[in-house]
Structure 1
Amino acid sequence: MREHVNVPPVHRAGNLFKNAKKYRVLLTAGAIVVSLLLLTGYTYWPRSPIALASGENMNRAGLYDSWKKGEVVVLVRHGERCDRSDNECLGPEDGITRNGSQVSAEVGRSLSQLGLAQTDILASPSTRTAQTAAALFGHAIAAEDWLFDCEKIDLAQIMAHKSSNRNLVLVTHSGCIGKLERQQGYPHADTSEYDSAVFISMDKHSKPVIRGLLNPQDWKHLAMKAGD
């Protein structure tokens, strides 16, 4: 006896083919839409604050003028950690390396070219921030415990320590800088480099905003532009 084989009608097979083709088209269209949304999001919501050393970003942000008026807050991350490097330690293991101290000193020279006459300086009490601050400015800097408590730090707390018509430089940690970046709409910002800095000033509504970041290799170039 022959085995009976069910063969779908031609019109039904055609419908299956059309549905499969339509499904592939929808998948392709969906992938394109998602890609465009991701691209648009990256364009309008950048991963990290802008690089101030790029082009005229420092001037566009008005930071040279704001610095002269004493309206800027700068958060500087400490130098290279000794306990996470093979380089020679400057002192205790919980401090920074000799290489990190040299980089901090170079950053400090660039900061001094911007002018520190109307600038207050504070540092976290940790060994690595204290050593960084000393390398930056050539002497010991007053320590503030709140600069070590990155879980609680926020812009309001920072601005409460800023005096009118005086810039404020804070030597702190990547965790504190990252917390502020998240509060300002940069939830996926890259971890700040050693001796890098985030610049904050007031917007037209008198609210503090992050204007951009500066990596250690860019400080010297920035200070030269400030003297133009």
Structure 2
Amino acid sequence: MLSSDILENLAIPTRRKRHRRSRKAWAAGLALVLVAAGLMLWSSTRTHIVNLGNERQLNASGLLQKWAEGSVIVMIRHAERCDSAPGPCLDDPTGITVSGSQAAQRVGEGLQRLGLDGADLLSSPKLRTRQTAHFIVGDTVTSEDWLEGCESGFAGQAMAHKRAGHNLVLVTHNGCVDHFQRTLKVAPGERESGYASALFVSVDGSGKARILGRMNEPDWRRVLASAQR
């Protein structure tokens, strides 16, 4: 029979292996906890987009009050493009579809419910944005090149065109809206803007911008009608 000392010596490597495995498991668990904590911290620093198509969220956002104060910038993506949709074109193939023109009219009805008196309206010079703006307001809208460029300075340009006490309506492109959202640290998965969707941003007296939320085209009339009863 083996002596107790020999058995003890034989058991030592096994205990050491178990100890090393335990330490590795503990280190792996700690790494997972640190990664999860880092992701939570990162997420807490991101701006999340509220869906203003929900009546409760619309009321909680403060949009109606901010709009009445004239302290809002709304960025509207152009309506459905003719060159990337199966529907019939309005006319020029570089413009919007017939369905897109109808969607733009519905957005215009929603904006009229909010009130456009005193608002400044601008569009990108691209045909699809000029057509969208026309169907939104029923008239020609002034075009400016910076609304087409979608460069890193877009947010600054938008803020510079915002007059105190006057809401600013910008008909532009997904890339431009994306640049503005990047500036305000919107989470990557929440930056995509659908056709004729509107991103609402409030601007306070010190010029600080805060995203109020996004309204998708199908929700305009229903939500605004119920919110203003």
Q: TM-score range by the shorter chain?
A: 0.7 to 0.9
1:141 aligns to what? 141
Structure 1 residues 136 and 54, CA gap change in structure 2 (3 angstroms): same
Which shows bigger deviation, 110-119 or 206-215?
A: 206-215
Q: Are the equivalent residues in 1 in contact too, given 2:59–2:227 (CA < 8 A)?
A: no
2:91 and 2:172 mapped to 1: Cα distance? Answer: 19
Give the stretch that moved more between structures: 179-188 or 121-130.
Answer: 179-188
Determine if contact 1:82/1:88 at 8 Å carries over to the other structure: yes
Asked if structure 2 preserves the Cα contact closer than 8 Å seen for 1:153 and 1:176, the reply is no
1:109 is aligned with what amino acid?
Answer: E
Shift of 1:210: 1.9
Conserved in 2, the CA contact under 8 Å of 1:71 and 1:202?
yes
Report 1:23-172 matches (<5 A).
23-39=24-40, 41-42=42-43, 44-46=44-46, 48-172=48-172
**Counterpart of 1:219 in structure 2: which amino acid?**
W
After superposition, the Cα gap between the structure-2 partners of 1:77 and 1:179, relative to the gap in structure 1 and judged at 3 Å, is: same
**Paired residues of 2:147 and 2:154 also in contact (CA < 8 A):** no
Structure 1 residues 46 and 156: CA distance shift in structure 2, 3 A:
closer
Q: Which has the higher helix share?
A: 2
Q: Deviations over 1:190-215 (max 9, x none)?
A: 31111111111124744122222111
Residues 187 and 36 (structure 1 numbering): CA distance in 2 closer, same or farther, change over 3 Å?
A: closer
C-alpha distance after superposition, 1:112-162 (max 9, x if no partner): 111111212111000110111112112221111111111144333213222
Structure 2 residue ranges without an equivalent (≥5): 1-8
TM-score by structure 2 length?
0.85
User: Unaligned stretches of 5+ in structure 1?
Assistant: 1-7
- Against the structure 1 CA distance between its residues 213 and 26, is the aligned structure 2 distance closer, same or farther, given a 3 Å change threshold? same
- Give the number of equivalent residue pairs: 220
Q: Give the corresponding residue for 1:15.
A: 16
Taking the aligned partners of 2:54 and 2:196, their CA distance within structure 1 comes to 18
RMSD of Structure 2 on Structure 1 (CA): 2.2
TM-score normalized with structure 1 length: 0.86
**CA contact under 8 A between 1:199 and 1:210: conserved in structure 2?**
yes
* Structure 2 residue aligned with 1:183: 183
Aligned identity (percent) is 34
Q: Structure 1 pair 39/54, CA: closer, same or farther in 2 (3 Å)?
A: farther
Deviation at 1:18, TM superposition (A): 2.0
